[in-house]
Amino acid sequence: MLQVDRLSLRFGGLRAVNDVSLAVEGGRISALIGPNGAGKSTLFALLSGFLRPDSGSVRFLGRDITGLAPHRVCRLGMTRTFQIVQPFSAQTVRENIAVGAHLHERDRRRALERAEAVAGRVGLAPQLDKLAASLTIAGRKRLELARALATEPKLLLLDEVLAGLNPQEIGEMIPVIRSLSETGVTVFMIEHVMQAVMNLAEWVWVISQGELIAQGSPAQVTDDPRVIEAYLGHGTAARLRQAATSGAGDG
């Protein structure tokens, strides 16, 4: 569905994304993980047209979309959410979601109706007439998801929709995301909450300092020494293994 080929972007001397290639398959949930500052959100910005790569290409549904403007990428069927939620604060939840629904629906009333249906899917129905500014962080994350969903995307890029939620809220959101995939939307998510990644993703890419360092099933990548070192520092994987074996010997 989405092919990324040798994508690179530098900010001055910093290689934010360095020679990244990956292919997101349709119909399933994939995840992109990595330590803070690894370049995950930058990669999403490159895919969705908010940033232009220095080199490399992005193909979506067989079409080259490298450097295409964000609204055009969205019209082709790829919608992203933002890590830092960006609601239309002065408008109600219903109006917020309707902006997404308007992508394929000219009529105002039908767009508002569609917004209502989408709100139901993500559990925002009771808040439809509240101002977006009055929502809690969990509510705003749901709104971010609902707006994107209202554009009826084929591929949904979710940038940390679970960050900042408490365990109960995370527990409520996981089935929502799974249900998206069940209705035929392909999901590619950046996520720090490993519980969600282990639970949802069929395939995981790990990025560190702009480079792809591992990929595989969630179990495979969390066991990968390079991934452990990327998160916890050089040499940690070996020390952990040592501690585990000596700990077993003591017991």
Partner 1 sequence: MRDLVLIALFTVAVLLLPLFVTSGFLLNLVVMTLYLALLGQAWNILGGFGGQFSFGHAVFFGTGAYAMAVLQVKLGLNAWAALPAALALGAAVGLLVGALSFRYGLKGSYFALVTLAFAEVFRILANTFQFTGAGVGIQIPLRDSAADMQFSGRAGFLYTILALCVAGQLVAVWLRHSRYGAWLQAVRDNEESAAALGVDVFRVKLVAIAISGALMSAGGAFYLQYFRYVDPHIAYGPAISVEALLAAIVGGMGTVFGPLLGAAALHAVGEGTRGLMENAPGVNLVAYGVLLVLIVMFLPRGIMGLFGRKN
To partner 1, the closest distance from the beta carbon of 42 in angstroms equals 15
Output 97 or 212, the one with its CB closest to partner 1.
97
List of residues 6+ apart from 119 with CB closer than 8 A: 93, 94, 97, 125, 127, 128, 146
N- to C-terminal Cα distance for the chain?
50
- Taking the C-alpha atoms of residue 149 and residue 101, their distance in angstroms, rounded to an integer, is 8
- Taking the C-alpha atoms of residue 72 and residue 62, their distance in angstroms, rounded to an integer, is 15
Q: Is 86 in the site for partner 1 (CB under 8 A)?
A: yes
Output 63 or 234, the one with its CB closest to partner 1.
63
Q: Is 60 in the site for partner 1 (CB under 8 A)?
A: no
Output 50 or 231, the one with its CB closest to partner 1.
50
- Indicate which single residue of 5, 19, 99, 209 sits in contact with partner 1 (rule: CB under 8 A): 99
Choices 14-22, 33-41, 70-78, 206-214 (CB under 8 A): range interacting with partner 1: 70-78
Site mask, partner 1, residues 14-53, x = CB under 8 A?
----------------------------------x-x---
Sequence letter at residue 73: V
- Indicate which single residue of 90, 219, 243, 244 sits in contact with partner 1 (rule: CB under 8 A): 90
Integer angstrom CA distances of residue 130 from 10, 90, 126, 165: 41, 10, 9, 20
Output 105 or 224, the one with its CB closest to partner 1.
105
- Indicate which single residue of 100, 139, 210, 218 sits in contact with partner 1 (rule: CB under 8 A): 100
Site mask, partner 1, residues 146-175, x = CB under 8 A?
-xx-xx------------------------
Angle among Cα 158, 84, 113 to the nearest 5 degrees reads 65
- Identify the CA nearest to 30 among candidates 149, 151, 205, 179: 205
Q: What phi, psi does 131 have (nearest 5°)?
A: -70, 140
Structure tokens at 14: 């910093």
Which residues make up the interface to partner 1 (CB under 8 A)? 48, 50, 69-71, 74-75, 79-82, 86-91, 95, 98-100, 102-103, 105-108, 111, 131, 147-148, 150-151
